[in-house]
Amino acid sequence: MPGTVIIGSQWGDEGKGKVTDFYGETADLVVRYQGGNNAGHTVVVGDRKMKFHLLPSGIMRAKHVFIGAGVVIDPRVLKKELENLEKIGKEVHLTIDPRAHIIFPWHNLEDGAQENEHGGEKIGTTGRGIGPAYADKCYRTGIRFEDLINEKRLKQKVEKVYPFKKKLLEKTFGVKIKETADEIFNQYNELGKEFLQYVGDVSLEVNEALDSGKNVMFEGAQGTFLDNDFGTYPYVTSSHPISGGVATGVGMAINKISRIIGIVKAYTTRVGEGPFPTELTGRVGDDLREKGQEYGTTTGRPRRVGWLDIPLLRTSMRLNGFTEIALTKLDVLSGFEKLKVAISYSHSGKTFDYFPYSMRSVEKAQVQYREFEGFTLSGKEKKFKDLPKSAQNYIKFIEEKMGVPIKLVSLGPERSQTILVD
């Protein structure tokens, strides 16, 4: 059975955790392919709210979860998340690819120091060391999971990298690294011993599972416009959240994926800096933020909020090839008298119905909106036809503009607050 991918179509925080959990029930395997603990997925199961940053959120349902080569792993965070699962008696079947790169304390310090260097032009990273860990991978000086679980290799690598990082941090950024090389080695070596049980060739195992007809789900983190190449560079993350990232992040061929679910939040949000054409900065924006509880799962930062953006979504469709859409947080729009949706941008006499490649155009663009009647939900809607007509129109408009069916509408964090559209 070919694999299913879950992708954030906007700037992340679209509610992928809930959708992965929803579909994860039927998945044999759930696989993460990029990012690290910059992600924040919330899954509500009964009265229990679980937050995941590094482990795939599908862990609550799937039989077996995988962390692919394209992920960067902070073992200190992995330990905490595994302990939290142990506390609730959840059995974990986890496999980690030996090729995945490891986040060390110097990466966290570099992340913060780089941001300070940017002065007024910060990226607004999560501060989790993600960018520096990926940079070391590209420099070919990174330390991988296969090194973490091998005492001798870990010692050699830490001894080699530490003096360089210390010099860089102290001399360039004036930042002191408080741990000694031995302290870091000892801490990471302990973690490596603990995690040895999880090592396995994720590329091989996932390909075998796909070939033998297993149901495999690939769980994206962040969102399309945080993609390092196709997002709003430089205000992006350092990995590839788009669907093409699955092949390189896991080690598999693109023709093994047949279902690509785009998660579209019914409005738009982004955390951190960077262009955001439909951003709402006044009272409507504040109301949306409060109703949608738009505060970062990882950093607690208030998210920037704005109207739904069709040019952005059409571009997302082009970059990802969605085969269906899951529309989330429609309930948050309930009670607004009027809703707006961006339908095009214009700049220098040109009109765009897609997201321009030039960030200058995006920043300077005028946005053309279409207004929709608002709607009020009762909370009892179980089927598409139970939704108010104006909500149905809003959904159909998105479907028509994206050219792909909306198969799921989420009206709240609970599994029961989900409408499957025939």
Closer residue to ligand IMP (CB): 235 or 375:
235
* Residue 407 token pair: 């198969």
Cβ atoms of 10 and 232 closer than 8 Å? no
Cβ atoms of 327 and 408 closer than 8 Å? yes
Backbone torsions φ then ψ of 310, nearest 5 degrees: -70, -45
Q: How far is CA 257 from CA 59, 214, 252, 264, in A?
A: 21, 13, 9, 20
Q: CB within 8 A of 135, min separation 6: which ones?
A: 238
Q: CB within 8 A of 16, min separation 6: which ones?
A: 6, 7, 8, 41, 57, 219, 220, 221, 263
124 lies in the site for ligand IMP, by CB under 6 A? yes
Q: Which of 68, 75, 105, 131 binds ligand IMP (CB under 6 A)?
A: 131
Closer residue to ligand IMP (CB): 13 or 309:
13
Query: What distance in Å separates the CA atoms of residue 254 and residue 250, rounded to the nearest whole number?
Result: 10
* Residue 394 token pair: 């809003």
**Cα torsion 164, 167, 170, 171: sign:** negative
CA 205 to chain centre: 23
125 lies in the site for ligand IMP, by CB under 6 A? yes
Query: Shortest Cβ distance from residue 390 to ligand IMP (Å)?
Result: 29
39 lies in the site for ligand IMP, by CB under 6 A? yes
* Residue 124 token pair: 């607004």
Q: Which of 20, 95, 108, 126 binds ligand IMP (CB under 6 A)?
A: 126
Closer residue to ligand IMP (CB): 13 or 136:
13
Query: Shortest Cβ distance from residue 353 to ligand IMP (Å)?
Result: 25
12 lies in the site for ligand IMP, by CB under 6 A? yes
Closer residue to ligand IMP (CB): 118 or 389:
118
Say whether 41 is catalytic. Answer: yes
38 lies in the site for ligand IMP, by CB under 6 A? yes
Closer residue to ligand IMP (CB): 40 or 413:
40
What letter would DSSP give residue 168?
I
DSSP symbols for 310-374: HHHHHHHHHHH--SEEEEE-GGGGTT-SEEEEEEEEEETTEEESS--S-HHHHHH-EEEEEEEE-
Catalytic option among 13, 97, 136, 309? 13
CA 313 to chain centre: 16
Query: Shortest Cβ distance from residue 228 to ligand IMP (Å)?
Result: 10
Catalytic option among 21, 41, 74, 136? 41
Of 18-26, 36-44, 60-68, 88-96, the segment contacting ligand IMP by CB under 6 A is 36-44
Of 24-32, 127-135, 329-337, 394-402, the segment contacting ligand IMP by CB under 6 A is 127-135
Secondary structure (3-state) at 211:
helix
Which residues in 256-275 contact ligand IMP (CB under 6 A)?
A: 271-272
108 lies in the site for ligand IMP, by CB under 6 A? no
Closer residue to ligand IMP (CB): 25 or 121:
121
Cβ atoms of 407 and 420 closer than 8 Å? yes
Of 96-104, 125-133, 198-206, 403-411, the segment contacting ligand IMP by CB under 6 A is 125-133
Closer residue to ligand IMP (CB): 32 or 128:
128
Query: What distance in Å separates the CA atoms of residue 5 and residue 11, rounded to the nearest whole number?
Result: 17
Which residues in 184-243 contact ligand IMP (CB under 6 A)?
A: 221-222, 226, 235, 237-238
DSSP symbols for 276-297: -TTB--SHHHHHHHHHTT-B-T
**Cα torsion 132, 109, 276, 285: sign:** positive
Query: Shortest Cβ distance from residue 129 to ligand IMP (Å)?
Result: 8
Q: Which of 128, 137, 240, 329 binds ligand IMP (CB under 6 A)?
A: 128
Per the DSSP assignment, residues forming a β-bridge with 64 are 29
Query: Shortest Cβ distance from residue 96 to ligand IMP (Å)?
Result: 20
Query: What distance in Å separates the CA atoms of residue 376 and residue 379, rounded to the nearest whole number?
Result: 9
- How many residues touch ligand IMP under the rule CB under 6 A: the total is 20
Closer residue to ligand IMP (CB): 107 or 314:
107
388 lies in the site for ligand IMP, by CB under 6 A? no
The residue at minimum Cβ distance from ligand IMP is 272
Q: Which of 17, 24, 40, 311 binds ligand IMP (CB under 6 A)?
A: 40
Query: Shortest Cβ distance from residue 64 to ligand IMP (Å)?
Result: 23
Calculate the dihedral angle through the C-alpha atoms of 132, 138, 139, 141, rounding to the nearest 10 degrees.
80
244 lies in the site for ligand IMP, by CB under 6 A? no
Catalytic residue positions? 13, 41
Residues that bind ligand IMP in the complex, under the rule CB under 6 A:
12-13, 38-40, 123-126, 128, 130-131, 221-222, 226, 235, 237-238, 271-272
